[in-house]
Amino acid sequence: MTCSGSYMSASIAANIRGENPEVPVGLISRFPMLNSTEWAISMFHTYCAILLMIVLYTNFIGPKGTDESPAKVKFHMFVGRIFSWLIAPHYALVGLLLNYYAIMGPRMEDWLLGADITGWRAQFAYITPFGLNVLVATMLGFFVNRYKFMSAGAWYTLYKGISIFSIVFWFTFGMYVSIDQVLGGLGSFGLPLEKTLDGGGKIVGDANQVWFRSIAFLTMNAGMAQAGMDYVNYKVLQLISTSGNRVLSWKDQHKWAMINLMFQAGFIFGFFVATFPYCVYGMPDWTCLKLWQAAPIAIGACWPVFVHGKWTYSFIKALLGGTMAEFSKDNHAWDLEEVQPVGKGLPVPAPLPPPKKKFLGLI
């Protein structure tokens, strides 16, 4: 990203390459970090992100849990449990902690180490609801209604509250920061310029701000899609809180959550890969992709979302249209009463009617 409009110098380039032994450097984004604790957490999170992408792509490409072959079902579940038990318990929470570091931690001397890769504004406006959305999607996809410890009503209330908070946060703080920058502002809530312009005043002209306007345009569009997924998560939670999986099958609940997670993980992962600072390693300048060149690569990393686009449209239509019982009628084999071994479906009770619509369909 250092070739995308940010200030660069020989000393900064050396820091980013890891040539300064006093400054640890992040793995993918090449963040030079003064805080060694933050660096250790970031490295752990990054390795888990790589493992997460391997797990997601493997299970989207490979056999599914409904395959006729028991061996293939076991493979799908084994790979999924690598994520659900080794990554999921901490992933979103650690990400939110790193988001806090990125917003509140940097000092002016940090900008002397290297050009900023996202800026606290993008972290605050977009990544905050991103982390909340990933947390809810992960719980929906692996734990809610799958295990007895997460089938009580309090969990539904908690995750519905997080989803609504994420939506409200985006349409207030997130949209303000994004739109203000797109229109030429700073999106800084009126804070002093030296605390807002990424680079601590070390930038050359307005190049950094122009670059961040492009970032704001991307996050504005991605944030709207993210808010839509938050709303779908809320409606799923609203439905299963009254009917368990007798209307919406757990298989469809799981599949929706994985598609949500795939979009979020794929977009971020693809974006970082596409904008990896090749020029820092001596490669030609043309390898330093501009944002408009990187965006298709980031979107392409989400290919499972597009492969399942028709199913996703039908799912959301059934969820919002009150026809989920018909949509899920053939997918109840994996549903549980209390907790039972996966794959040994019990007879499913007659579906309950969907909840009545109340104020704005939200509550």
Q: What is the DSSP string of 137-192?
A: HHHHHHTTTTSGGG-SHHHHHHHHHHHHHHHHHIIIIIHHHHHHHHTT---STT--
Task: Sketch the domain layout of the chain as residue ranges.
Answer: 10-361
pLDDT at 15: 79
Query: What pLDDT, on a 0 to 100 scale, did the predictor assign at position 343?
Result: 37
Task: Give the Cα separation of 214 and 197 in Å (integer).
Answer: 15
Q: What is the pLDDT of residue 117?
A: 56
Within 10 A of 147 (CB to CB), how many other CB atoms are there?
Answer: 11
Cβ neighbours of 205 (radius 10 Å): 9
Query: What single DSSP character describes residue 19?
Result: -
Structure tokens at 314: 């039908």
**How far apart, in Å, are the Cα atoms of 36 and each of 32, 216, 238?**
10, 29, 42
Quote the CA–CA distance of 256 and 234 in Å, as a whole number.
Answer: 12
Q: Yes or no: say if 131 and 92 are a contact pair by the CB < 8 Å rule.
A: yes
3-class SS of residue 114 = coil
Which of 318, 353, 347, 352 shows the shortest CA–CA distance to 335? 347
Q: Whose CA is closest to 168, among 231, 221, 93? A: 231
Q: Round to whole Å and give the CA distance between 96 and 123.
A: 10
pLDDT of residue 26: 77
Choose among 171, 284, 280, 285: nearest CA to 226. Answer: 171
Query: What burial class does residue 255 get, using C-beta atoms within 10 Å of its C-beta: 0-12 exposed, 13-18 middle, 19+ buried?
Result: buried
- pLDDT tens per residue across all 363 residues of the chain: 444 445 566 777 777 778 888 888 877 666 778 888 888 888 888 888 888 899 999 999 998 888 889 999 899 999 988 888 888 878 878 888 888 887 887 666 666 676 665 567 888 899 999 999 999 999 999 999 888 888 778 899 999 999 999 999 999 999 999 999 899 888 888 877 666 655 544 444 466 677 778 888 888 999 999 999 999 999 999 999 988 899 999 999 999 999 999 999 998 888 777 766 555 555 566 666 777 777 888 888 999 999 999 999 999 999 999 999 999 998 888 786 543 333 334 334 444 444 444 434 433
Phi/psi of residue 25, each to 5°?
Answer: -120, 135
Distance CA 124, CA 82 (A): 30
- How many other β-carbons are positioned within 10 Å of the β-carbon of residue 313? 10
pTM of the model: 0.82
pLDDT, tens digit (0-9, with 9 covering 90-100), for 30-55 = 677 888 888 888 888 888 888 889 99
Cβ neighbours of residue 361 closer than 8 Å, sequence gap 6 or more: 235, 320
pLDDT on residue 258:
95
User: Hey, which residues does 25 pair with through a beta bridge?
Assistant: 32
The rounded distance, in Å, linking the Cα atoms of 87 and 84 is 6
